[in-house]
Structure 1
Amino acid sequence: MSDTRPTVSTLLQRWATERPDDEAVRFGATRHTWAQLDERVRRVAAALRAEGVGVGDRVAVLDLNHPSCLELTLACARIGAANAVVNFRLAPPEIVYVINDAKAAILAVGPEFAGAVEQVRDKLPSVRKVLHVGGASDEYEAWLAAHEPDENPYDAAPDDCFVQLYTSGTTGFPKGAMLTHRGMLSHAEHVAHDFALAPTDVVQVAMPLFHVGGMSYALLALGQGARIVMARMPDPATLLDMFADEGITHTFLVPALMGAMTQVPDASARDYSSLRAVSYGASPCPLPVMRASLELFGPKLHQVYGMTEACGVVSSLGPEDHTDPSVAHRLVSAGKPIIGVEIEVRDPESGAPVPAGEPGEIWVRTEQLMSGYWEKPDATASALTDDGWLRSGDGGHIDADGYVFVTDRIKDMIVSGGENVYPAEIERVLAEHPAVADVAVIGVPDERWGEVPKAVVVATPGQEVDADALLAYCREHLASFKCPKSVDVLDELPRNPTGKILKKDLRKPYWEGRERQTV
C-alpha cells in the first residue's frame, strides 16, 4: 500500500483477531461478534465478486437502517468498490438519478421500497441485480451464506473511496461525495478524541446510514472497536428506552429529534446514567430545545458542525460551554475545531483570510476531506483548493477566542442597504417566541434598500401569530437593520428530503423577473 496507516478492512480484521467474542453490532434481536461480523463481511465480499463487482465499481442500498448496509460498505472496502447509500426520503426521480449517477451494479433494497423499485426497474440500466433485504422476501442471508469467506482483500490505498454519500443540496440533483479510508478513519480518530470514546463504550446509530450522522457514526465505533447498537428508525420513545436497555454511552441526534424526545411522556423517568456524550447537529438547534435537552440529559451535550464532504464533524461545542452562564453567547456557536481540523474564514470572492470577528466563508482543511465529487470534476475544483482546503459554502465568523459561528449559506445572506444580514441570526431570535413553531427568514426586494428580511413562520399549535407583535419582539432583540420588515404565516415550511428548508421556494414568488439568485 502507498501508506502504512490502516484501512477500514484491516481495522475490522484487527478487532476480529484481538476481540473475536466481543459483541460488535446489535440490531433488535440480532447480535454479531467481531469475528462473526468479519466472516459475514468476507462472505458478502465473495458474493459481490461473484456478481462481477470489482475495483472502482459501485453498489447501492435503498433501505431504512439495517446491518446489511454496514456489511456491504465494509465488503466494498475489502474489494476496492464503494457503497453509494441512497437517501430513501428522495422522490422517485431523484432516487433513479442517484442510482444511475453511481452506475450501481447491485441494488440492495428494503421491504418498504421494493414496490417503488419495481416500478422504476426499467429506468436503472446499470443495475444487474436487485437484492431484497429483510422482510418476508429476504434474499440477503441466503446470498451471503452461499459463498465461502473471501480470503484475498484488495490492497487498498488510504485515499481509495469505499463509501459514497450524496449531498442534500437545496437545489439541483445531489452530488456523490467520495469518502475514503483516510478520511473516515481520520474522522473516527478525531471525533473519538473529542468525545472520549473507548473500546468499552456503546454507540447508538440512530440517524439514517445515507447520512454522515449515521454512516460516519457507525464507522466511528468501528475505529475504536466500540459496540454498535443500530436503530432501524429514529423513533423518539424507542431511542430513549434504548439508552437504558442497551447502556448507550454515545449518540448523535438532530435537533428536531431532540425536541421530540423531550416531549415523550415520562421521558424524565428513564435512566440516562450510562450516557456520556449526546452530540447533535446537521441543523441549527433552537435554544428552547437545547435547554429542554440539557434538563433531560444533563451536562452531556456536544453541539457539532460538519458536512458530508468532511466525513462529518469538524467543530464541537462541549458540555462546559453549554452550562457556564458567563459564556452563554457561545450557545449559538459551533464551538472550536476538533483535533486534526483547521478552520479559517475567508473572503468569498478573493479567498483571503479575514480578521477575527469579520464575516466570510468558512474554509476547512483536514485529512477527513473527501477525494472529490463522483464524476464531477468542475464541482470538485470549485469545492477543493490545490492546497487542501474545502470551501464549505457556509457563511460565518470566528471570534477572538477561536469559536466558530455559522451564520448561513453564503447564497442565503441578505444585503440590505450595504449591510450583510444573516437570516440564521434572526431565526434564532424568532424561535424563542412562544407563538412560533418553525421559522425561515428570506430576503425580498425593496426599492430603497435593495432587499430586506422577511420572516416566514409556522404558528405553535393552539396559538395565533400577531405579525405586529412579532416585529416588535424582533426590534427588542436585534439591530434595526436586521429586523424583518414583514411576516408571512404558513401551515408548514417547504423542506427537502433531509429536512433542510427550501428557501429558494420561499424566495421565488418575490424575485420573479428580478436579478437575485433564487438558488
Structure 2
Amino acid sequence: MTLQSTDVSALLARWETERPADEAIRFEGVTRTWAELADRVRRVAGALRAAGLVPGDRVAVLDLNHPSCLELTLACAQIGTANAVVNFRLAPPEIVYVINDAKARILFVGPEFAGAVAGVRDKLPGVERVIHVGGEQDEYEAWLAAQEPDPQVHPSRPDDCFVQLYTSGTTGFPKGAMLTHRGMLAHSANVAEDFELSPSDVVQVAMPLFHVGGTSYALLALYGGARMVMARTPDPAAVLDMLERERITHTFLVPALMAAMTQVPGAAERDFSSLRALSYGASPMPLPVMRACLELFPDRMHQVYGMTEACGVVSSLGPQDHSDPAVAHRLISAGTPIHGVQIEIRDPGTGEALPTGEPGEIWVRTEQLMAGYFGKSDATAAAITLDGWLRSGDGGHMDADGYIYVTDRIKDMIISGGENIYPAEIERVLAEHPSVADVAVIGVPDERWGEVPKAVVVAAPGQTVDEAALLAYCRENLASFKCPKSVDVLDELPRNPTGKILKKDLRKPYWEGRDRTVV
C-alpha cells in the first residue's frame, strides 16, 4: 500500500473516507472508529488553535500510554505544531529540563504524574496551562468536547516537525529529535513494505509513546489502516493476553519484556497463531532469552535495529535467519537494511568508507531522518553530514552478505595495547554463564596496556559469582586479549530511564584524575 502524500494528516483522512465505521483503535475496552477518531483529532486541533497555538509551537505530554497522546500528535500534524512526548521515567529535574527545552505551552498530564508536576509547576514558566488526562481529575474530555471540529489543515512542508521525541541522554541531558512528516511517512512506508502490513491486520502498541517503538509503531498502524490495540503499560502477562485475545498480527517489544513473558505460567499453551511479525530491538537480546523466545514464537521474530533520529527501524533480521541452523551466526547481527535505507561502515575519524568486514562507525542515509535536534544546531551538524548521512555513534561492521553487526557505542570501545575491543562481544559470552543475571563490560586503566576490560556483573537468583571461574569461562570462549582481567559484583547495574546501562557511571571511579575523558 502506498500513499502519495507529504502530510501525515492525509493518513487519517483517507481511512475516515474509505472505512468510516471500521474500528481504528481500542484501549482498555473503549473503541473508536476511523470516523470517531478523525472527529476527536479535529476537536483537539480546534482546542489548540483556540488556546492561541500557532505553527511552530509545542505541547508536551507526560503520561503512560493513552490514545490522547496520539490524538494530540495527529492534531499537531494538522495545525503545524509539534507534540513533545516526555519520558515519564525521568526524574523531576529531567522532566523540567525536557518540558522547558521543548518550550511547551500546554502540558497534558496523566493521573500518575499529577503530583510530580504540581511539585515542579513553578519551574515551568513557559507552560501556560496544565490539562489533566484520565482519572478522577480528567479535564481532557471536557476540553475536547467544548470545541467544534476544525477541518482546516495547515499547509505543512515535508520537513516540518510534528512530533518531538527525546534521546535517552546517556552522556548528558536528552536532545529533542525533530521528527517530520517526510521522515515518519517514509519510515511507515518502508516498514509496512518489509513487514507486509495491510488494513486487515491488528497492531499492538505496547511500548511507551515517548519512544519510537511506541509512537512510530502507532503511526505505522495508521499508515497501514490496521486496527490498533494500545496497552497503557507493558505488563508481561497482559501483553501475552492481548496478543491472544485481540488476534494481534504485528507488535514491537523489547528484550527485557520478552524475557519476562517467557516466564509467565502457561505462556507456551497460548494460541499465537495470528501473530505474523514480532519485532524486537532497542537493546541486545542475550542468546538464552532468544532461544526461549524462539520456542514461544517460532517463525515470527524480526530483530530490528534503529534509532530515534531515523524515526525507528533501519535494519531487520527476519524469521528465516532466526531459524536456519546454517546461518546461526547471524543471530547476533542486526540484519540487512530495510527498504529505503542505505547503511555504510565509515572510519569514525575520517568519514571514509571502510572495506567489508572492517569495524567502524555505522552511518545511515534515508528519508526517515529527523530534521535535527531542537534548538541544538551544533549537535545536529555533528550528527548529520552535509550530504545527508546520519552518524549513528554505533560501532559495527558489515559482512560480505550485507548483514550488519552492531558491536558497541563508539565511545564504549576499549583500546588495549593497540587492539580494539568491543564490550558487547564479551557481554554476549558472559550472559551465557548460569551465575550471571546482568552484565556490563568497561575499560579500566592499566599501566602496561593503557586500558583493559573489566566485567561488572549481577548474580543470577540463587547463584554466587566465582571470579576465577568466570574468567576461566571467558578464556575458553574469547580471544585472550578480549578477556576481562577482573570482575566486580554489584546488586544492580546503573541504568538511565529507558533502561540503558550507564557505563559512564561504572567507569568514573577508575578514571578520576586521569587524562581520559569519561563520557
Aligned residue number for residue 217 of structure 1: 217
User: C-alpha displacement at 1:4, in angstroms?
Assistant: 6.4
Opposite residue 104 of structure 1, the aligned amino acid is A
User: C-alpha displacement at 1:493, in angstroms?
Assistant: 0.2
Aligned residue number for residue 246 of structure 2: 246
* 8 Å Cα contact 1:444/1:452 also seen in 2: yes
Aligned residue number for residue 426 of structure 1: 426
Counterpart-to-counterpart distance in 1, 2:393 and 2:318: 24
Opposite residue 364 of structure 1, the aligned amino acid is V
How do 1:188-267 and structure 2 match up within 5 A?
188-267=188-267
Aligned residue number for residue 47 of structure 1: 47
* 8 Å Cα contact 1:60/1:99 also seen in 2: yes
Counterpart-to-counterpart distance in 1, 2:356 and 2:431: 27
Counterpart-to-counterpart distance in 2, 1:430 and 1:188: 37
* 8 Å Cα contact 2:6/2:157 also seen in 1: no
Counterpart-to-counterpart distance in 2, 1:179 and 1:403: 27
How do 1:278-427 and structure 2 match up within 5 A?
278-427=278-427
Opposite residue 98 of structure 1, the aligned amino acid is V
Aligned residue number for residue 172 of structure 1: 172
Is 1:449 matched up with 2:480?
Answer: no
* 8 Å Cα contact 1:5/1:158 also seen in 2: no
Question: Which consecutive unaligned segments of at least 5 residues does structure 2 have?
Answer: none
User: C-alpha displacement at 1:6, in angstroms?
Assistant: 3.5
User: C-alpha displacement at 1:238, in angstroms?
Assistant: 0.3
Counterpart-to-counterpart distance in 2, 1:158 and 1:376: 20
Aligned residue number for residue 508 of structure 2: 508
Counterpart-to-counterpart distance in 2, 1:289 and 1:52: 50
Counterpart-to-counterpart distance in 1, 2:225 and 2:299: 26
Aligned residue number for residue 56 of structure 2: 56
Counterpart-to-counterpart distance in 2, 1:466 and 1:195: 44
Opposite residue 267 of structure 1, the aligned amino acid is A
Aligned residue number for residue 127 of structure 2: 127
* 8 Å Cα contact 2:357/2:399 also seen in 1: yes
Runs of 4+ in 1 over 6 A off after TM superposition: none
Opposite residue 349 of structure 2, the aligned amino acid is E
Counterpart-to-counterpart distance in 1, 2:516 and 2:193: 44
Counterpart-to-counterpart distance in 1, 2:173 and 2:161: 21
Aligned residue number for residue 464 of structure 1: 464
Aligned residue number for residue 480 of structure 1: 480
* TM-score (structure 1 length as normaliser): 0.99
SS at match of 1:105: strand
* 8 Å Cα contact 2:441/2:454 also seen in 1: yes
The Cα offsets for residues 314-361 of structure 1, whole Å up to 9 and x where unpaired, read as: 000000000011111100000000010000000000000000000000
SS at match of 2:104: coil
Aligned residue number for residue 66 of structure 2: 66
Aligned residue number for residue 187 of structure 1: 187
User: C-alpha displacement at 1:240, in angstroms?
Assistant: 0.2
Counterpart-to-counterpart distance in 1, 2:241 and 2:490: 35
User: C-alpha displacement at 1:58, in angstroms?
Assistant: 0.2
The Cα offsets for residues 230-276 of structure 1, whole Å up to 9 and x where unpaired, read as: 00000000000001111100110000000000000111111101100
* TM-score (structure 2 length as normaliser): 0.99
How do 1:74-93 and structure 2 match up within 5 A?
74-93=74-93
Aligned length: 517
How do 1:18-29 and structure 2 match up within 5 A?
18-29=18-29
SS at match of 1:179: strand
Counterpart-to-counterpart distance in 2, 1:378 and 1:4: 34
Opposite residue 360 of structure 1, the aligned amino acid is G
SS at match of 1:24: strand
Counterpart-to-counterpart distance in 2, 1:358 and 1:191: 28
Is 1:8 matched up with 2:3?
Answer: no
The Cα offsets for residues 103-136 of structure 1, whole Å up to 9 and x where unpaired, read as: 1000000000001101111110111110000000
Counterpart-to-counterpart distance in 2, 1:405 and 1:227: 34
User: C-alpha displacement at 1:515, in angstroms?
Assistant: 1.5
Counterpart-to-counterpart distance in 1, 2:15 and 2:442: 50
